[in-house]
Structure 1
Amino acid sequence: MTPIHWRRAVPSDAPALSLLGGATFLASFAHDHPGPALIAHIQVAHAESYYRVALHDPAQHLLIGETPLGAPVGYAMLTPPDLPIFTDERDDVEIKRIYLLGPWQGGGRGDALMELLADHARHRGAKRMLLAVYPQNDRARRFYARHGFQEIGETTFMVGDVPFRDLIYARTL
């Protein structure tokens, strides 16, 4: 099994993050999201400019995963919480994005990434990790449950101009 090397993303990684973000979002949701809405969402939410801004924000932490040859195959993003529930920026952190390209899923790679995120959250003093997940994404929901996340609420996630219901999960650190 080819290993993934995880490192903190830097501003020059914005193009790779944009490609990964668009590819993984499309692969994850093309089966039941309207095409025009998907494309509109990806063009904004996964634009290089979006990642450039995030990479210059000290409150955000982005990891990028690469093969030994430097090909990007996954990424994750921790941010201050932005969910419609009570949060405390000192105690809470949100996993805004966590994705691996399909061929790189399995074999404990996602587990290792989740623990890297938990370690970083603890290091910055967080006591809880939050995330939003699409209810029909059973694989992701099982993964989060395995890592101690529990449902605590719900939110609306816009994909282009189409609203989708997401579940809010929390994990105590």
Structure 2
Amino acid sequence: MNQNIPSLHPCNLTDLPTLQAISRETFAATFGAANTTQDLAKYLDTAYATDKLHREMINPDSHFYFLQVGSEVCGYLKVNTGDAQSEAMGANDFEVERIYVRPAYQKRGYGRILIELAEALATNAHKDQMWLGVWEHNDNARGFYARIGFHRIGQHTFTLGSSQQTDYLMAKPL
């Protein structure tokens, strides 16, 4: 087997420490410079706390998938349906809550692999649309999602520590 070919596999509870480390690393690398140290630390401690990630992982309406190259976990995907969605959406909606690719593995097409997995999962689940939230100032991500068929359907406030920020909600019909 070629060690350079990415593989995908569902996460289980034994993967929680790796999931937590990737979450913290990726979020801090992406948003750290735009936020205070205190706000970032508070967010990382709350959003990626062991007990919170454990609850997310055992929720039957949430699913996590690692993207791996050889023995290295390069990133992960988190998707939600039903009541696990972070916004009150319909039963036929499918949320892509996180596409996290570690900084050392970005710009290699791994985000596209993860979003394609999400679309396949949503299609196989007979959902009508896929949706996600993306920070208004994350131009690269917003552009990527627009290029692959997502369009803006609204926005919501995202609280990071003491900072109130705006995420655009984007959706793609299936």
5 Å-filtered alignment, 1:59-74, equals 59-69=61-71, 71-74=72-75
5 Å-filtered alignment, 1:50-61, equals 50-61=52-63
Summarize deviations over 1:56-93 as a string: whole Å, max 9, x none. 11111111122212x22201111133226xx212x101
- Write the letter of the residue equivalent to 1:140: A
Does the residue aligned with 2:34 lie in a helix, a strand or coil? Answer: coil
Does the residue aligned with 1:31 lie in a helix, a strand or coil? Answer: helix
Once residues 40 and 6 of structure 2 are traced to their aligned partners in structure 1, the CA distance between those partners, rounded to angstroms, is 28
Does the residue aligned with 1:54 lie in a helix, a strand or coil? Answer: helix
Does the residue aligned with 2:154 lie in a helix, a strand or coil? Answer: strand
Does the residue aligned with 2:61 lie in a helix, a strand or coil? Answer: coil
Q: TM-score with structure 1 length normalisation?
A: 0.91
2:84 is aligned with 1:83? no
1:47 Cα offset (Å): 1.8
Summarize deviations over 1:98-140 as a string: whole Å, max 9, x none. 1101221223222111111100111122111111111111111
Once residues 52 and 67 of structure 2 are traced to their aligned partners in structure 1, the CA distance between those partners, rounded to angstroms, is 19
User: 1:161 aligns to what?
Assistant: 162
Preserved CA contact (<8 Å) 1:94 1:129: yes
1:6 Cα offset (Å): 1.2
Stretches of 4+ aligned residues off by more than 6 angstroms:
none
> How large is the RMSD of aligned CA atoms in angstroms?
1.5
2:12 is aligned with 1:13? no
Bigger drift between 15-24 and 48-57 goes to: 48-57
Once residues 97 and 56 of structure 2 are traced to their aligned partners in structure 1, the CA distance between those partners, rounded to angstroms, is 11
5 Å-filtered alignment, 1:1-173, equals 2-69=4-71, 71-80=72-81, 81-83=85-87, 87-89=89-91, 91-173=92-174
- Write the letter of the residue equivalent to 1:144: Y
Once residues 160 and 134 of structure 1 are traced to their aligned partners in structure 2, the CA distance between those partners, rounded to angstroms, is 15
Unaligned runs of 5+ in 2: none
Once residues 18 and 62 of structure 2 are traced to their aligned partners in structure 1, the CA distance between those partners, rounded to angstroms, is 17
Percent identity, aligned pairs only, is 28
Q: TM-score with structure 2 length normalisation?
A: 0.91
Preserved CA contact (<8 Å) 1:17 1:48: no
